[in-house]
Chains A and B, each alone.
Chain A
Amino acid sequence: MEPTSQQETAHSSVLTLHVNGTPHTLTLDHRTTLLDALREQVGLTGAKKGCDHGQCGACTVLVDGRRANSCLLLAAAHNGAHVTTVEGLADGERLHPVQQAFVARDALQCGYCTPGQICSAVGMLAEAAEGHPSYVTPPEHPPGAPAALTAHEIRERMSGNLCRCGAYPNIVDAIGEVAT
Chain B
Amino acid sequence: MTHPPPPLGTPAVRSEARDKVTGAARYAVEHTPPGCAYAVPVPATVARGRVTAVHAEEVLALPGVHAVLSHENAPRLKEPDDPTLAVLQNDRVPHRGWYVALVVADTPENASAAAEALRVEYAAEEHDVRLTADHPGLYTPQEANSEVPAVRERGDFDAAYPAAAVRVDATYTMSALHNHPMEPHASTAWWDDGHLTARDSSQGSTKVRDTLAQVFGLEQGQVTVVSEHVGGGFGSKGTPRPQVVLAAMAARHTGRPVKLALPRRQLAAVVGHRAPTVQRVRLGAGADGVITALAHEVVTQTSTVKEFVEQAAVPARVMYTSPHSRTSHQVVALDVPSPSWMRAPGEASGMYALESAMDELAVATGLDPVELRLRNDPDTEPDSGKPFSSRHLAECLRDGARRFGWDRRDPRPGIRREGDLLLGTGVAAATYPVLISPSAATAHAAPDGTYVIRVNATDIGTGARTVLAQIAADVLGAPLESVRVEIGSSDLPAAPLAGGSSGTASWGWSVHKACALLAERLERYDGVPAEGLTAAADTEPEVAEDSPYARHAFGAQFAEVQADTVTGEVRVRRLLGVYAAGRILNPRTARSQFIGAMAMGIGMALTEESTMDPAFGDFAEHDLASYHVPSCADVPAIEAYWIDEDDPHLNPMGSKGIGEIGIVGTAAAIANAVHHATGARLRDLPLTPDKVLPYLDPAS
Chain A residues within CB distance 8 Å of chain B: 29, 31-32, 36, 39-40, 43-53, 55-56, 58, 85-87, 89-90, 95, 99, 102-104, 106, 108-115, 118, 151, 154-156, 158-159, 161-172
Q: Residues of A contacting B593 with CB < 8 Å? A: 109
Cβ of B263 under 8 Å from chain A: yes
Cross-chain contact of B109 among A31, A48, A169 (Cβ < 8 A): A31
Q: Residues of A contacting B460 with CB < 8 Å? A: 110
Query: Is the pair B22, A168 in contact by a Cβ cutoff of 8 Å?
Result: no
Cβ of B680 under 8 Å from chain A: no
Cβ of B287 under 8 Å from chain A: no
Query: Is the pair B599, A114 in contact by a Cβ cutoff of 8 Å?
Result: no
The 10 residue pairs across chains A and B that have the minimum distance between CB atoms = A46-B23, A166-B599, A112-B231, A110-B461, A111-B20, A109-B461, A166-B596, A45-B30, A86-B23, A55-B624
Q: Residues of B contacting A106 with CB < 8 Å? A: 13-14, 17, 588-589, 591-592
A87–B234 Cα distance when bound, in Å, is 28
Query: Is the pair A109, B592 in contact by a Cβ cutoff of 8 Å?
Result: yes
Cβ of B411 under 8 Å from chain A: no
21 inter-chain pairs at a CB distance below 8 angstroms, sorted by A residue, are A31-B113, A50-B184, A50-B264, A56-B182, A56-B264, A85-B23, A87-B24, A95-B18, A106-B592, A110-B183, A115-B21, A156-B632, A162-B631, A163-B182, A163-B632, A164-B234, A164-B629, A166-B598, A166-B630, A167-B596, A168-B599
Q: Residues of B contacting A111 with CB < 8 Å? A: 16, 19-21, 25, 229, 231, 461
Given contacts A51-B264, A58-B182, A166-B598, is CB(A108)–CB(B632) below 8 Å?
no
Q: Is the interface of A mostly helix, strand, loop or mixed?
A: loop
In the complex, which residue of chain B has the Cβ closest to the Cβ of A49? B261
Contacts between chains A and B (CB distance < 8 A), count: 182
A45–B596 Cα distance when bound, in Å, is 25
- Min CB gap B253→A, angstroms: 22
Query: Is the pair A112, B182 in contact by a Cβ cutoff of 8 Å?
Result: yes
Q: Residues of B contacting A32 with CB < 8 Å? A: 109
Cross-chain contact of A155 among B21, B113, B180, B632 (Cβ < 8 A): B632
Q: Which positions 624-642 of chain B face chain A at CB distance < 8 Å?
A: 624-625, 629-638
Query: Is the pair A102, B21 in contact by a Cβ cutoff of 8 Å?
Result: yes
Q: Residues of B contacting A43 with CB < 8 Å? A: 32
Q: Which positions 1-29 of chain B face chain A at CB distance < 8 Å?
A: 13-14, 16-27
Q: Residues of B contacting A109 with CB < 8 Å? A: 232, 461-463, 592-593, 596
A161–B635 Cα distance when bound, in Å, is 13
Cβ of B480 under 8 Å from chain A: no
Q: Is the interface of B mostly helix, strand, loop or mixed?
A: loop
Q: Residues of B contacting A115 with CB < 8 Å? A: 21, 23
- Min CB gap B174→A, angstroms: 19
A99–B632 Cα distance when bound, in Å, is 18
Q: Residues of B contacting A156 with CB < 8 Å? A: 632-633
A151–B637 Cα distance when bound, in Å, is 9
Cβ of B268 under 8 Å from chain A: no
Given contacts A52-B263, A169-B595, A172-B632, is CB(A164)–CB(B181) below 8 Å?
yes
- Min CB gap A154→B, angstroms: 8
In the complex, which residue of chain B has the Cβ closest to the Cβ of A96? B21
In the complex, which residue of chain A has the Cβ closest to the Cβ of B179? A164
Given contacts A51-B624, A102-B21, A111-B20, is CB(A168)–CB(B230) below 8 Å?
no
A39–B573 Cα distance when bound, in Å, is 39
Known interface pairs A87-B22, A163-B632; 10 further A-B residue pairs with C-beta atoms within 8 A, sorted by A's residue number: A47-B23, A48-B183, A52-B264, A53-B623, A55-B623, A108-B21, A159-B632, A163-B182, A166-B599, A168-B630
Q: Residues of A contacting B638 with CB < 8 Å? A: 169
Query: Is the pair A53, B182 in contact by a Cβ cutoff of 8 Å?
Result: no
In the complex, which residue of chain B has the Cβ closest to the Cβ of A99? B21
Total B residues in contact with A, Cβ cutoff 8 Å: 64
Chain B residues within CB distance 8 Å of chain A: 13-14, 16-27, 30, 32, 107-110, 113, 179-184, 229-232, 234, 261, 263-265, 460-463, 588-589, 591-593, 595-600, 623-625, 629-638
A152–B633 Cα distance when bound, in Å, is 8
In the complex, which residue of chain B has the Cβ closest to the Cβ of A101? B21
Cross-chain contact of A159 among B264, B595, B631 (Cβ < 8 A): B631
Q: Residues of B contacting A46 with CB < 8 Å? A: 22-24
Given contacts A50-B184, A109-B232, A110-B231, is CB(A87)–CB(B23) below 8 Å?
yes
Query: Is the pair B230, A110 in contact by a Cβ cutoff of 8 Å?
Result: yes
Query: Is the pair B17, A102 in contact by a Cβ cutoff of 8 Å?
Result: yes
- Min CB gap A102→B, angstroms: 5
Cross-chain contact of B182 among A159, A162, A168 (Cβ < 8 A): A162
In the complex, which residue of chain A has the Cβ closest to the Cβ of B64? A29
A114–B23 Cα distance when bound, in Å, is 8
Given contacts A108-B17, A166-B630, is CB(A40)–CB(B108) below 8 Å?
yes
Query: Is the pair B624, A162 in contact by a Cβ cutoff of 8 Å?
Result: yes
A140–B217 Cα distance when bound, in Å, is 70
Cross-chain contact of B23 among A45, A49, A102 (Cβ < 8 A): A45
Interface centre among B183, B231, B632 (most CB of A within 10 A): B632
- Min CB gap A127→B, angstroms: 15
Interface centre among B17, B182, B261, B265 (most CB of A within 10 A): B182
Q: Residues of B contacting A113 with CB < 8 Å? A: 182, 231
A171–B183 Cα distance when bound, in Å, is 19
- Min CB gap A89→B, angstroms: 8
Q: Residues of B contacting A47 with CB < 8 Å? A: 23
Q: Residues of B contacting A52 with CB < 8 Å? A: 263-264
Query: Is the pair B264, A164 in contact by a Cβ cutoff of 8 Å?
Result: no
A85–B25 Cα distance when bound, in Å, is 14
Given contacts A50-B184, A164-B234, A165-B596, is CB(A29)–CB(B22) below 8 Å?
no
- Min CB gap B597→A, angstroms: 7
Interface centre among B30, B231, B589 (most CB of A within 10 A): B231
Query: Is the pair A48, B21 in contact by a Cβ cutoff of 8 Å?
Result: no
Query: Is the pair B261, A103 in contact by a Cβ cutoff of 8 Å?
Result: no
A62–B12 Cα distance when bound, in Å, is 32
In the complex, which residue of chain A has the Cβ closest to the Cβ of B638? A169
Given contacts A56-B624, A95-B18, A171-B632, is CB(A112)–CB(B27) below 8 Å?
yes
Q: Residues of B contacting A51 with CB < 8 Å? A: 184, 264, 623-624
Query: Is the pair A29, B632 in contact by a Cβ cutoff of 8 Å?
Result: no
- Min CB gap A83→B, angstroms: 13
Query: Is the pair B18, A110 in contact by a Cβ cutoff of 8 Å?
Result: no
Q: Residues of A contacting B181 with CB < 8 Å? A: 110, 112, 164
Query: Is the pair A48, B182 in contact by a Cβ cutoff of 8 Å?
Result: yes
Cross-chain contact of B17 among A85, A89, A103, A159 (Cβ < 8 A): A103
A113–B633 Cα distance when bound, in Å, is 16
Q: Residues of A contacting B462 with CB < 8 Å? A: 109
A156–B634 Cα distance when bound, in Å, is 9
Q: Residues of B contacting A49 with CB < 8 Å? A: 184, 261
Query: Is the pair A165, B108 in contact by a Cβ cutoff of 8 Å?
Result: no
Query: Is the pair A40, B32 in contact by a Cβ cutoff of 8 Å?
Result: yes
Cross-chain contact of B635 among A31, A36, A39, A168 (Cβ < 8 A): A168
In the complex, which residue of chain B has the Cβ closest to the Cβ of A47? B23
Query: Is the pair B21, A112 in contact by a Cβ cutoff of 8 Å?
Result: no
In the complex, which residue of chain B has the Cβ closest to the Cβ of A103? B17
A106–B26 Cα distance when bound, in Å, is 19
Q: Residues of A contacting B109 with CB < 8 Å? A: 29, 31-32, 36
Query: Is the pair A29, B107 in contact by a Cβ cutoff of 8 Å?
Result: yes
Q: Residues of B contacting A155 with CB < 8 Å? A: 632-633, 635
In the complex, which residue of chain A has the Cβ closest to the Cβ of B23? A46
Q: Residues of B contacting A161 with CB < 8 Å? A: 632
